[in-house]
Amino acid sequence: MSLVISWIDVGALEAIPRQGARVVATPRGDVAVFRTHDDGLFALDDRCPHRGGPLSQGIVHGHAVTCPLHNWVIELASGAARRPDEGCSHRHAVRLERGRVLLALPADAGPEAAGHG
């Protein structure tokens, strides 16, 4: 049985600053959508695997984000913490279509509100 997903429009690419993030509220928790310096798009649960810090408020550098609470570095492509730290934030599929950022969510987890940030 395959997981049914829905793609939700979270806004224009230009609405997410380079090396920044936008938060999308869902029934399963906030998702941070990141835009890198080279216009890469990544989406992770907005919780650091260490102590739940808001990754969307962290510093984006290269294809990683540093948690604002305890400086853990999280790889955007995998959600994994860089060594020596261990843990992982859940990844979400994200894509760009006609200048709009689309986020994949399970069909029963539509957005409560288009993000802020």
The class level of CATH for 5-95 reads: mainly beta
Question: Which whole-number Å values give the CA distances from 106 to 19, 26, 51, 63, 109, in the listed order?
Answer: 27, 10, 25, 25, 5
CA distance 37 to 111: 26
**Residue-wise pLDDT tens digits, 69-110:** 999 999 999 999 999 999 999 999 999 999 999 999 887 654
**Residue-wise pLDDT tens digits, 11-60:** 999 999 999 999 999 888 999 999 999 999 999 999 999 988 999 999 99
In contact, 60 and 36? CB cutoff 8 Å: yes
- Residue spans of the domains in the chain: they are 5-95
Classify the C-alpha dihedral 100-6-55-38 as positive or negative: negative
